Structure 1
């Protein structure tokens, strides 16, 4: 039994107008032990049409003024929007049936909200409906099988929502997840490194530091010596520098022993100082190799050797020229070169630098490349090596892959923050795409907090070609990753800065307060499942409130996400100046 509150007086398209009885103007009503919400904006009513119950949401109200019996009478009228219907006790979303004039309108029992929005209780609850204060369980099996976007201005509560979402998942499912799925969090601000999300048993934490090596992200040798990986690390251009790197990788894979590498180095010294018309930059290149090898004897010897621009040759003052027959090389340098050894602990990054210089030397001698096209790549390698060597470790030792991996970039410089997330994405995506079954029997979930840092189209600190390459890589993941069980979760305070292609491919949204016109325009033109009333609330949402919509939800809803316990909250709280300035 329910409470009759009015009747339908007009139906215009999908807009329904209802005359509300005077005695129904109450906020909350109780009838026969059941609680009902009164007729007000964003509340729900049901219209009975035969055996079907059409569920509508109240979108507006006004007073109709009429002259009856020599006096004005005011009739309260409300506008409704149908959102679904009950048939055979089950709720169906969408407009299939519309009411007729004079159909009766009843209040909706509060406990029927569970049938509309999902089960109540403690299954997967991160908050309650904002107005109804009714706990709602999210459909986790649909939600985490999709790309997720969590957007909101600073202080709106988006970090708490992101943390609540995954903390609840891990609290309930971590034992079943372990070994079947991996969750990788790219944490730009170090908000999730102090015990958040789950216990140490199930997670690895990498605190990367580009100034002082604390921890290093592990890469297998086979993965590091890959053209795509090295091109990512050193931002190689597609048409010139990437083929150059490809030749280096092929040579490394073909002659992959220390003896071959040592012989390769020694032969390069000989080629430089026995070339018929050596390129003037060869001397600087061979000095760079010598510095990396840290060979004191050859360092001192090379200090005495100069390049002559007129004769285009190398000489030792005053007139001792190196000739193509190699006689002077054998007298001056050969003994020192033959004594070269590979330094103990030479990293793969340093070895790559040496191989780059050697490859350029040989290409210049053979006339295969122009120095000006490759030289910028060598400059980037030289400037990046010291930083990369502090955050990347290349070895063949197996790494224990736990269910959750947190990678903190808080102490990394901007160059590392641009390059490393792309490397991490490729590190997980490419092997997973090759190895996963069809349909996928394993999943990878890449979570990027402050995603505008790497997915922005507005960045001017890097070349357009490199920015396009990074965006295209993530666009491929968000377009094709679902087929391979790879899902993205993006959190950002500026969704308008993120590539529109990426935002358009997100399936489910948690939208906190947004006030910027560009952000609101993007939301308005991207999310087809967002209704006008929910959209209008976004600029005025309170802290912790968010509009939830997407493919996992039948209807948009406004949720008040509960605040996590202190020890589980992300490290993103505002400074308490009242306590600081005591």
Structure 2
């Protein structure tokens, strides 16, 4: 039996006004052993319309002043509330949407906490719970099949509980479904602050943690050779121009692909390049400088010594070394003196990064001698390549066959420079996304999934960054926009956590299906939420700037109604390493006292 607390006195569109009885203002009511919450803002009320219970949410309340008699000074007050219908209960099942509306004098009743919980997902059909409803304190089971089959956005200012929500979601997933996920799904966390490298989400011995560090010997990310030796990737990494530098990079990669399987092809390439440079009928002075750089790359001291003493005669157009030998089409300097030195070069020590730089210089030297390219047009991309390679070598390792995939892989970028934090997520995402797409067992619908989790996503998905080349930034955003737009058909899903959602590309935000929104106070962030999320009601929006720590508005395609969820805090050993400093404990005692 329900508790009748009022009656309908006005219906205007979807706005319903109720007169609340005087004895119905308690905060909590127990009736026949069942707990009910009184009538207040954001509480739920049922209005009986025949055999239908129309479920409404309280949006506002006010007092109406009345007099007993016109000539009397005695007054009394009628409490009125405005409610909005959110659905209806038929045959003990809740249905979302406005289908039925009440009539004047229809009775309004309280809904028990159990019934309110069943509306939002407290049923026992799922045991995937990360918290409880804020006001009703009823544990809510989330629709995990819909949740992880979508793109997720977790937003909130620093200290609002955003990281705990992210960790709680995936900790609960692995706790409940760990056995069933193996060999069917992969999870990749890009961790900018090193918050998930210990026992968070999974025990450290059950996941692969890659700690990248440019300042010491640490782990390196294994990238497939085919993804590294890619013209588009290298052109963007080195900010190559469209008309001259990008065609140059393609010539380098095409030449490597053509002779890759020929034994000692790189040694032959070096020898032929030097022969062109020092046996040409019209030697080029730029070729001498390029050959000196090549000698440094191959680390051959006799060749470096020989080239150090080389001079160029501009009038007669020939090279001459310190011993007086001439190097041109008429001289015997190359065959007699230089060829034996070049032939003895050992290139076995070269890694992929050194090989790339070597091939760049060899190609440019050959192009300059043959007149295919101008030195000053290509030289800037070589300088950028050498600068970028120095940083990439400490965090990347190019391999032909990648290691077997792990169920959960954490890439920590905590000890990387800001430049590497911009570049590396692009390579990591492209590597995993391309590998997943070309999988033979993908099928339709996909039989395997890839979940890319990016904490502090504004670091790499921001349109406001001015520290990088515009073309490179556009490509990085386009890659993630492709994943968020097309990834679903391949079973690839993004989870983004950020304290500044307004900085993230609007295209990416608009494609997110489900949101966990913690406290946000910035006007741009609130405006973005208002314009992007169509499933968010007015009263929920108004609560976002004042949400307590750990509380969030949950809404999206997986949920019938927006709800305010209080996320359970994880145990300290499982929480992300992002706790606030306890100044009372830190400053409590002087260390010498």
Normalised by the size of structure 1, how large is the TM-score?
0.96
Picking from 117, 120, 125, the partner of 1:117 is 120
Taking the aligned partners of 1:33 and 1:271, their CA distance within structure 2 comes to 96
> What displacement does 1:317 show?
6.0
- CA apart distance, 1:275: 2.9
- Which residue matches 1:500? 506
* Displacement of 1:119: 2.6
Determine the structure 1 residue equivalent to 2:60: 60
**3-state SS of 1:357 partner:** helix
Paired residue for 2:311?
A: 306
Contact 2:222 2:398 in 1 (8 A): yes
Q: Compute the displacement of 1:279 (Å).
A: 4.1
Q: Deviations over 1:323-344 (max 9, x none)?
A: 23452322342221122221x3
Asked if 1:509 corresponds to 2:512, the answer is no
Match for residue 78 of structure 2 among 68, 75, 78? 75
Conserved? CA contact 2:325–2:332, under 8 Å: no
1:574/1:326 CA distance change after superposition, 3 Å: farther
| Alignment partners' CA distance in 1, 2:14 and 2:574 | 45
Q: Which residue of 1 aligns with 2:557?
A: 551
2:299 aligns with one of 285, 294, 297: 294
For 1:400 and 1:43, locate their aligned partners in 2 and report how far apart those are by CA, in whole Å: 52
- Give the root-mean-square deviation of aligned CA atoms: 1.9
Report the alpha carbon displacement of residue 117 of structure 1 after superposing the two structures with TM: 0.6
- 8 A Cα contact 1:237 1:465, kept in partner: no
SS across alignment from 2:413: strand
1:195 maps to 2:199 = yes
Specify which of 251, 254, 261 is matched with residue 255 of structure 2.
251
Determine if contact 1:232/1:422 at 8 Å carries over to the other structure. no
- Asked if 1 retains the 8 angstrom alpha-carbon contact of 2:190 and 2:412, the reply is yes
Residue equivalent to 1:475: 481
Extract unaligned runs of 5+ from structure 2.
none
Answer whether contact 1:179 1:403 (CA < 8 A) is retained: yes
1:143 positional shift: 0.5
Residue 90 (structure 1) aligned to one of 65, 75, 93: 93
Deviation at 1:438, TM superposition (A): 1.1
| Equivalent residues, number | 581
Cα gap change, 1:272 to 1:25, in 2 (>3 Å): same
Classify 1:372/1:147 alpha carbon distance in 2 versus 1 (closer, same or farther; 3 Å): farther
1:152 aligned to which of 156, 175, 178:
156
1:415 maps to what in 2?
A: 419
Distance 2:345 2:519 in 1: 64
Supply the distance in 1 between the matched residues of 2:351 and 2:150 (Cα, whole angstroms): 39
Provide the rounded CA distance (Å) in 2 between the counterparts of 1:321 and 1:522. Answer: 71
Q: Is 1:237–1:466's contact at 8 Å kept on the other side of the alignment?
A: no
Distance (Å, rounded) in 2 between the aligned partners of 1:284 and 1:511: 58
1:273–1:326 CA contact under 8 A, matched in 2: no
1:183 deviates by 0.3
1:221 aligns with 2:190: no
- Out of 438, 445, 455, the position equivalent to 1:449 is 455
Residue among 274, 282, 302 paired with 1:269: 274
Please tell me whether residue 19 in structure 1 is matched to residue 19 in structure 2: yes
After superposition, give the CA deviation of every residue in 1:483-525 in whole Å (9 maximum; x if it has no partner). 1100001111111111111111111111111111111111111
SS, match of residue 23 in structure 1: coil
1:403 aligns with 2:376: no
Matched residue, 1:533: 539
> Kindly tell me: are residues 239 and 519 of structure 1, through their superposed partners in 2, closer, same or farther at Cα, counting changes over 3 Å?
farther
Q: Is the 8 A contact 1:195 1:568 kept in 2?
A: yes
Where does residue 580 of structure 2 map in the other structure? 574
1:284 aligned partner: 289
Greater mean deviation of Cα atoms: 111-120 or 415-424? 111-120
Residues 322-471 of structure 1 aligned to structure 2 (within 5 Å): 322-325=327-330, 327-342=332-347, 344-435=348-439, 436-471=442-477
Equivalents in 1 of 2:85, 2:314: separation in Å?
Answer: 84
Q: Is the 8 A contact 2:198 2:204 kept in 1?
A: no
When structure 1 is superposed on structure 2, of 535-544 and 65-74 the one drifting more is 65-74
Contact 1:7–1:102 (8 Å) recurs in 2 = yes
Q: CA distance change for structure 1 residues 318 and 30 in 2, over 3 Å: closer, same or farther?
A: same
In structure 2, how many angstroms separate the alpha carbons of the residues matched to 1:88 and 1:378? Answer: 73
Q: Which moved more, 1:253-262 or 1:170-179?
A: 253-262
| 1:367 Cα offset (Å) | 2.8
Check if 1:29 corresponds to 2:29. Answer: yes
Q: 1:459 to 1:277 in 2, by over 3 A?
A: farther
Q: Secondary structure at the match of 2:329?
A: coil
Question: Shift of the alpha carbon at 1:397?
Answer: 4.6
1:258-285 alpha-carbon deviations (Å, 9 max, x no partner): 5111101111111112234444432222
User: TM-score with structure 2 length normalisation?
Assistant: 0.94
- In 2, distance between residues paired with 1:14 and 1:376? 65
Supply the distance in 2 between the matched residues of 1:194 and 1:48 (Cα, whole angstroms): 54
Q: Deviation string for 1:73-101 (max 9, x for gaps)? A: 31111010111111122111111111121
User: Match of 2:321?
Assistant: 316
Give 1:179's match in structure 2, choosing from 180, 183, 188. 183
Shift of 1:201: 4.8
